[in-house]
Structure 1
């Protein structure tokens, strides 16, 4: 398979992992199923807890069976989970789908970037990781723009239709993945460098218990925990304080996605111009401040939504390349999964607190509380140890 062909197939795979059909109406759908904010928070807490328990084992499995095969398992589980929302009605049934959903995401979280990084290292150049990863995300966002516009319309016709359409799209990802090449070591059947469980624990301890990844992962974990914890409140705020109708959720999310697509496409360029250290340190701080402001001026929620989407999209490829650059090929997926586990550990208490605050006060107050708490955490990490060394201006130059 030619090098460019594999990259194009990677872009096609990214197109299939879009959740655009149901992302503009997901929280509204759960409310439609007669769940309250506390129950929604419990589902999110279940997701975070299972992520904590599953990230490292699935990352280890990804290193054992191969990153591509791990992605195939992920797409199969995701397709079944999404289609399950078509028929699930009770809280226990929805919780079961969240289990399957989480399994899909943890199989993907470390393996996707590990596959791409090792492929580029073997065939092209790892310095292209942020650019290729960012463009893959841009393709994903472009597909999402189209699907979110359709999602609101489908929801008005029948609340189950967005999930049916998304299940078909994600199912196509299985077919695409089966055409991707395995990383060279797995394709050649070389098992000399396969990690044992004890080795995996040692790899995680060696990389995450000391600089440069110790404070870096802690810092970005706070950021990703914050962006994840407030996700459930975007739609209630938009249809509540901002007064938008359900029909406008599709165009609203399409706008978010366009911003995300632009940011992800130029993630590598932004990193080169602004610098990794400046981007990584200041973007989370600015975002947390933006979380607090709408509680005083509700109209500021709209730019806050945009900032949340854009900053999350910008930092994701930069963070993953930085972690990749400071990890060996053997155990790479395990280290990435351990980092994702850290994100989930910090997200869990924020999600539980958010559900209680939202039911007692309002979603706006919840978002402000999350922003204030995480802002204190970010400042504390900076005072403890710089997340990124002063001499680190680019990922590849780290």
Structure 2
């Protein structure tokens, strides 16, 4: 677990997080082009999630994580020299494939490692604390990233690549799951893996859940694109009065976002024990979506809404991952979890594309409010047909059934 936490700390992209959209705008891209790039990531994630999850189930979750880290480092280095839209498409593609190699395997590795020790019930707590460690590291790197950007716009990318590269030897030192100890891996064929995914994602206990939480995660992902320009607009007068570069202020603000998210993630297990997954998943997204609508008419509320959005996302991701892990059998775990990530990507693509058009036409605040309103309407419609979270005892999907 110590090595797992070390890997989480070294897998942060905190150096580039507070300045990424500003960097892309400075390189001459429009909001629509940035949204298109985000959509490219979402599409590639959609296409690549199940194949890379299957690779994780075949070659081992740890090896899949190593491949992910190598691809992400390559992408980060490429941003130093990229100038054209096609170059950014290539780098986004590398980033997307890197994400798919990690999206199911990291959760599957942790769940199976804990299950081998008879501690699968601790998944939400450990996963949440791991994410908290990652965000804690990001607090430091985000502040540094804003300052580095003010000195040299490419410096945050060099720093992020170096830190992520350090995570590769840490990953290689982590133990393999028991099924991969002899190098054989779990022996699901491609056809069996497809059957596991089909049975898992069509079950009522998971189908509506994936639609509901996937839409919320999509709203958060799409809104994150506009946090930087909205924040600059809200704080511009104050920053100008102090004579402080906006980029440096963004680094501090993003550190605050991440600190709040880290606290929420750390206590995900506590909240789950106190409220239960059902109440937390049903009510937290609705409250946050409502908060995102308000800044369209009262811009000063934007920053508190962004803090709430980051905290809710950090709180719910370990719960959602635990809910899915409890209902998926071991051999196809990474494949099914990758399929869930694929479903999330499908849901966020139209949000991202529509948001870029709205932001160019009416401004980023209007786009963010539109995301919140879309979720509220969709949640109300979905709730009329089925509960997003099904109560009852979990059960894995048997590989051979």
Q: Provide the TM-score with structure 1 as the length reference.
A: 0.95
State the shift of 1:275 in Å. Answer: 1.3
- How does 1:50-65 map onto structure 2 within 5 Å? 50-65=44-59
Asked whether the equivalents of residues 289 and 375 of structure 1 are also in contact (C-alpha less than 8 Å), the reply is yes
Equivalent of 1:49 in 43, 47, 52: 43
SS of residue in 2 equivalent to 1:178 = helix
Asked whether the equivalents of residues 145 and 254 of structure 1 are also in contact (C-alpha less than 8 Å), the reply is yes
Deviations 1:54-86 (A, max 9, x none): 111110111011000000000000011011111
State the shift of 1:123 in Å. Answer: 2.1
State the shift of 1:240 in Å. Answer: 1.4
Deviations 1:107-143 (A, max 9, x none): 0000000000000001241011111111111111111
Equivalent of 1:176 in 156, 165, 170: 170
Deviations 1:257-276 (A, max 9, x none): 11011111111001101111
Asked whether the equivalents of residues 20 and 144 of structure 1 are also in contact (C-alpha less than 8 Å), the reply is yes
Deviations 1:208-234 (A, max 9, x none): 112211111111111111111111100
Q: Give the corresponding residue for 2:349.
A: 348
SS of residue in 1 equivalent to 2:384 = helix
RMSD (Å) for aligned C-alpha atoms: 1.5
State the shift of 1:381 in Å. Answer: 1.7
Measured in 2, the distance between the counterparts of 1:82 and 1:310 equals 26
Equivalent of 2:213 in 209, 217, 220: 220
Equivalent of 1:234 in 223, 227, 233: 227
Q: How many residues align?
A: 388
1:200 aligns with 2:201: no
Change (3 A) 1:118 1:390: closer
Q: Provide the TM-score with structure 2 as the length reference.
A: 0.94
Measured in 1, the distance between the counterparts of 2:376 and 2:59 equals 40
1:250 aligns with 2:251: yes
Measured in 1, the distance between the counterparts of 2:149 and 2:10 equals 20
SS of residue in 1 equivalent to 2:28 = coil
Asked whether the equivalents of residues 147 and 247 of structure 2 are also in contact (C-alpha less than 8 Å), the reply is no
- How does 1:156-171 map onto structure 2 within 5 Å? 156-171=150-165
Measured in 2, the distance between the counterparts of 1:162 and 1:242 equals 22
Change (3 A) 1:332 1:390: closer
Q: Give the corresponding residue for 1:112.
A: 106
Measured in 2, the distance between the counterparts of 1:67 and 1:348 equals 27
Change (3 A) 1:344 1:391: same
Asked whether the equivalents of residues 242 and 299 of structure 1 are also in contact (C-alpha less than 8 Å), the reply is no
Asked whether the equivalents of residues 327 and 395 of structure 2 are also in contact (C-alpha less than 8 Å), the reply is no
Measured in 1, the distance between the counterparts of 2:119 and 2:234 equals 48
Asked whether the equivalents of residues 130 and 318 of structure 1 are also in contact (C-alpha less than 8 Å), the reply is yes
Unaligned runs of 5+ in 2: 240-245, 397-401
Q: Give the corresponding residue for 2:71.
A: 77
Q: Give the corresponding residue for 1:316.
A: 317
Q: Give the corresponding residue for 1:371.
A: 372
Asked whether the equivalents of residues 276 and 395 of structure 1 are also in contact (C-alpha less than 8 Å), the reply is no
State the shift of 1:391 in Å. Answer: 5.2
Asked whether the equivalents of residues 46 and 345 of structure 2 are also in contact (C-alpha less than 8 Å), the reply is yes
Q: Give the corresponding residue for 2:242.
A: none
Asked whether the equivalents of residues 322 and 395 of structure 1 are also in contact (C-alpha less than 8 Å), the reply is no
Q: Give the corresponding residue for 1:4.
A: none
- Bigger mean CA deviation after superposition, 120-129 or 322-331: 120-129
Deviations 1:330-370 (A, max 9, x none): 10001101110111001000100000010011000001111
State the shift of 1:390 in Å. Answer: 4.3
Measured in 1, the distance between the counterparts of 2:124 and 2:90 equals 35
Asked whether the equivalents of residues 27 and 83 of structure 2 are also in contact (C-alpha less than 8 Å), the reply is yes
